[in-house]
Structure 1
């Protein structure tokens, strides 16, 4: 039987996958670490596997690298089944969280290590030229003779990247490579890594549990949960149109409320929240359920001291407020609903005069705000 992924590839001959998971599962004894993964990784894209610990993202990466064989299904790279291909013969390289640099070698020797293992052997002049070129690419051109233990954390990461890309792999696999860096350096390295990927055109596959890292760097993100793929899409798609409660709750900040649908029309539904307030909300996949969950992002709501025409209003009390520079984060207790979060931009807060802990306010909900979530399996 042809899988849905194979069928899609057949229908779209213009779509080029550099790697594919087709019905892939992985078991470790009684533990099902990956469950029926179907995914095509597009040539030249930056794809991230994102999810909490134990969700299966690292297992997926290790199956691409050849460190773990799938228990079921097929992993393909460049349209070739990798089942019988050992890791060292695959057109991939991997950057590990701890970098795994050789302390007894210089930077240049570390970077050229993979080239020296190729058979037939490359001339020393070619190895030196390629090492010099890749060190210049990662802005370490003057560091070839340094020892790795003389470098900062960010410089060591660049050496690991240089060693990984010098062989010009089809896939560069990144296993949380920035987890050991401090916040400022991590942000700098994220930008450098993205610039490097764009300049090289190599397909990058990143594993991370840091959603901000995935959102800021990825062309597409694969959300994992319980060994399954929950949703694949661009950062904007995952944020604006999550398919279910799990994705909505994991990507960004989210208020998730329950309500009862009283009418449906033209892709929108009127529903009554627990407090009795009626709101108009778009549906991601209309069905006939009466009880539904709706997600609304903290920045999509606003606050007022009084109700305003054209907006549904929920009465609430401010329990916490945190100034974060460009916006203020308000935590509120809404009558009949429970805790909610609202982020007010600096300009909007200045116009209103701001609110303090204990203030009674109205949460304003404009028609068309939020999204009804599809039922979870």
Structure 2
């Protein structure tokens, strides 16, 4: 594994600036997630690191080596795509072994056998090694696709939304698997997603992208608790953060807009009156949808509490975040 650094990298496609002046360090052994909506520049950043796209500006180093003039094969990276990218006529064993048998790696066959066996154990699919790829379920196919990258020992694994085409249960299962694999192998991993749950549950560090720019980089807790802007705050947390005019609440305020996570709205005997629109029971908690002087608010309360529609309750802010009119955080 190796440290990967991006220094002021940029890439445009015609008049569209896909990546703009991104500087970031992916530490050796880190699990970094790039988070952002479609068009934020996540996949382009991955392709620039892999060498599938050429830089317009900036520098990429892998293990201290400037890779600007190297081909994708020379960069020693392994990619996992959203599509399974398997050879359907081959068995699982041969699909896993294929990268090791390439003319570049020329791995001895005994080593190929051992590596395939070990990765099959890690992915919990040793009983599927002699199956054709077409005989696998979607989750098993994606495990094999991930395994084709894991059998190698690259400087960094690059993963482009590998779980997005799976159903919810499989996504949850493979999130746990990927985190376990990362812990077991000590690998350096850069993972692209628009799914905040994947980012929060798997990452050691999150990079939030907005229109090709890196707007915040830190641990999941840092990004969640101290977002740099309304945009960043809205990328993490479900239900989303409530952003409201500060003057809805009594007292002095640091800025014109107040940001309240649903768990940071206190319901009690003091505060401002809000009307219950509806409640949603989710088993471990209840979500309350409120209306406060024309503004919609979502909060969470104990699962055993209940309020009927049109009930009036009192709420007050707890640990609020403040933002300027343009959405920047006021610390």
Q: Does 1:95 align with 2:77?
A: no
CA distance in 1, matches of 2:129, 2:317: 59
Separation of aligned partners in 2, 1:292 and 1:258: 6
Of 301, 313, 320, the residue aligned with 1:361 is 313
Give TM-score scaled by structure 1 length: 0.82
The structure whose Rg is larger is 1
Indicate how the Cα distance of structure 1 residues 144 and 258 shifts in structure 2: closer, same or farther if over 3 A, else same. Answer: same
- 1:269-288 counterparts in 2 under 5 A? 273=247, 275=248, 277-278=250-251
Q: Name the stretch that deviates more: 161-170 or 49-58.
A: 161-170
**Correspondence for 1:303:** 267
Matched, 1:325 2:289: no
Matching of residue 257 in structure 1 with residue 244 in structure 2: yes
Q: Equivalent residues in 2 for 1:68-107 (5 A)?
A: 68-107=53-92
Aligned to 1:263: none
Q: Does 1:18 align with 2:18?
A: no
- Select the residue among 149, 157, 176 that pairs with 1:164: 149
The whole-number CA distance in structure 1 between the counterparts of 2:299 and 2:105 is 62
Equivalent residue of 1:177, what SS?
A: coil
- The SS at the match of 1:87 is coil
Candidates 30, 36, 40, aligned match of 2:25: 40
CA distance in 1, matches of 2:297, 2:105: 64
8 Å contact from structure 1 (residues 245, 293) kept in 2: no
- Deviation of 1:358 after TM superposition, in Å, equals 0.7
Q: 2:301 aligns with which of 327, 339, 344?
A: 344
State the Cα RMSD in Å: 1.8
Q: How much has 1:164 moved relative to structure 2?
A: 0.4
What secondary structure does 1:247 align onto? Answer: helix
Distance 2:41 2:225 in 1: 24
Aligned residues: 325
Asked whether the equivalents of residues 279 and 365 of structure 1 are also in contact (C-alpha less than 8 Å), the reply is: no
Whether the aligned pair in 2 keeps the contact of 1:321 and 1:328 (CA below 8 Å) is yes
TM superposition outliers: structure 1 runs of 4+ over 4 Å: 374-377
1:173 alignment counterpart: 158
Give me the TM-score of the superposition, normalised by structure 2: 0.93
Q: C-alpha distance in 2, partners of 1:360/1:165?
A: 56
Shift of 1:177: 0.5
8 A Cα contact 2:2 2:188, kept in partner: no
1:330-374 deviation digits (Å, cap 9, x = unpaired): 111112x61111111225x2xxxx2111111111334xx212236
Confirm or deny: 8 A CA contact 1:95 1:161 kept in the other structure.
yes
Q: Deviations over 1:243-292 (max 9, x none)?
A: 11111122112011233xxxxxxxxxxxxx1x362256xx7xxxxxxx43
d(CA) in 1 for partners of 2:74, 2:97: 17
The answer to which structure, 1 or 2, has the higher relative contact order (CA under 8 A, 6+ apart) is: 2
